[in-house]
Amino acid sequence: MHLDVYGDTLTALVTAAALSSTGHQVTLRVPAGQVADDLNAYRMPYQEPGLELMLDQQQKAGRLCTGSAEDMPEDCVEGVFLALSPAAQSFAESLIDQLAARRGHSWLVVNQSNFPVGTTESLQLRLRDGVDPGVDRAVICMPEMLQEGAALQSFMRPSSILVGCDSDWAEIHIREMLRPFNRLRDVMRLLRPREAEFTKLAINGMLATRLGFMNDMASLADALHVDIEQVRMGMGADPRIGEAYLYPGCGFGGMNFSRNVMSLADTLESSGVGSELLEQVLLINERQKEVLFRKLWQHYHTELNGKTVTLWGAAFKPGTGRIDNAPALKLMEALWAQGVTVRVHDPKALPTLLAHYGERADLVLCDDPYEAARGADALMLVTEWKDYWSPDYRRLRTLMAQPLLLDGRNILDPDFVRSSGFVYYGIGRQ
């Protein structure tokens, strides 16, 4: 099929790469801006494993090309994907109006954008306005469920595909477009468009709630001298609860995840229902981003001025270079407010961090994790990159000014760390 993908989001690039890899002829239409500038300069705007290679392969194979978002799809196009940023809703409406003006043409539009609940239905009304009799048209919703750091994998081998669709014609076509990713078993879940949009928000709300609950339990475990790791495993063994998203830590980030949780809270508020639960989840998360700082503050009896602290990890999650709403940002700003020099290592996020803060005397970016630890009064493990799971404790001990390790992701063994000569603080660990 000939498909157009509109957008400058990670979802747009992954969708274009994945669809073209299965034989579709895809045109990626990127709105003017930084992402378009990066692509035109042969720079990858998103550091996502495998994405740059797949995009390059598909362009060389002739199945993927790029075009301007100002241009309309050609008549041969059988599907138009909208993977736009939330701020681009007016662009989506304008594009739909232009498609609608071609009265005799059938259009299938797949909305992947994080727009408010009900947007797909309103776009469909615009698309069908004045259509000639017998012409099939539909706007369906396929909420993006990508996990950054494993975005290609989550698109090409999905555990489920949510599709909001009220048209038999549209269902036949979307099933054919996604057939290569839906072969092992049928993972497509058909709902009404509004239900699919809301389900996406509800899923993220539930995941955030589990994380918030575990962070609250970790704080209580600290007060009761209970090891939260043992509690976590006991909870996860109960089939009514399961193991997913039960890991306490120093807070979650990510633009899409955080925005979706806030969008759900705003939707409930604007509807008059309200949600004290989600408000508390968001408050707990912001509080949790400073948990390592509070432990450091207490360890040094509030005397932090002039000290050096190393952060291992700045990205909001491993596998990506993005720092959107990352716990490291709030943590660094709290440290700087106390006169602390921060040294940072991250496998991918250093360029993004430099672009975000610029050059400053109290921020040192290091290409080597051990060089980052040189002279440090504390080492904070903030992002659970695999690079950090088995550190050389002897080397760290000789490099650091003080043997203090704060594990914000509970990936290290407290007993072993302490036996290696370190003072250890985790999140609810004993």
What digits encode the pLDDT tens for the residues 19-70? 999 999 999 999 999 999 989 888 899 888 999 999 999 999 999 999 999 9
What is the reported pLDDT for 133?
A: 86
Examine the domain organization and report whether 131 and 204 are in the same domain: no
Residue that is last in its domain, among 175, 191, 207: 191
pLDDT over 70 at 269, yes or no: no
Residue among 112, 131, 89 nearest 18 (CA): 112
357-376 per-position pLDDT tens digit: 999 999 999 999 999 999 99
Which residues fall within 8 angstroms of residue 66, CB to CB, at 6 or more apart? Answer: 27, 28, 29, 30, 39
Domain boundary among 159, 191, 223: 191
SS3 at position 229: helix
Does residue 308 or residue 68 have the better pLDDT?
A: 308
CATH classification at residue 265: 1.10.1040.10
Q: Which pLDDT band, with edges at 50, 70 and 90, does 214 fall under?
A: very high
Q: What average pLDDT does this structure show over 405-425?
A: 97
Instruction: For residue 232, give the amino acid letter.
Output: R
Query: What is the spatial distance between Cα 93 and Cα 117, in angstroms, rounded to a whole number?
Result: 15
**Do 388 and 262 form a contact (C-beta atoms < 8 A)?**
no
Sheet holding 378-381, edge to edge: 363-365, 341-345, 308-312, 378-381, 404-407, 423-425
Lowest mean pLDDT among 247-261, 363-377, 396-410: 247-261
Query: Could you tell me if 295 and 406 are in contact, meaning their C-beta atoms sit under 8 angstroms apart?
Result: yes
Q: Do 278 and 311 fall within a single domain?
A: no
Q: Collapse the DSSP code of 191 into the 3-class scheme (helix H, G, I; strand E, B; otherwise coil) and give the result.
A: strand
Residue ending a domain, among 263, 287, 311, is 287
Which pLDDT score, from 0 to 100, does residue 272 have?
66
* 327 and 239 in a common domain: no
271-284 average pLDDT score: 77
What's the confidence (pLDDT) of residue 421?
97
Residues 6+ apart with CB under 8 A from 133: none
Do 232 and 318 share a structural domain?
Answer: no
| 279, 306: one domain | no
Does the pLDDT value for residue 273 go beyond 80?
A: no
Q: What pLDDT does 264 receive?
A: 74
Residues 298 and 276 placed together within one structural domain of the fold: no
Higher pLDDT, 14 or 256: 14
pLDDT of residue 98: 94
d(CA 325, CA 373): 24
Average model confidence (pLDDT) across the chain? 93
Q: Summarize pLDDT for 173-189 with one digit per residue, the tens.
A: 999 999 999 988 999 99
Q: What pLDDT shows up at residue 274?
A: 63
CB 163 within 8 A of CB 174: yes
Query: Residue 59: what pLDDT?
Result: 95
The percentage of the chain sitting over the pLDDT mark of 90, rounded to a whole number, equals 77
**Contact yes or no for 10/146 (Cβ under 8 A):** yes
Q: Give pLDDT tens digits for 133-166.
A: 889 999 999 998 888 889 999 999 999 999 999 9
Residue 291 burial class via C-beta count within 10 angstroms: exposed 0-12, middle 13-18, buried 19 and up: buried
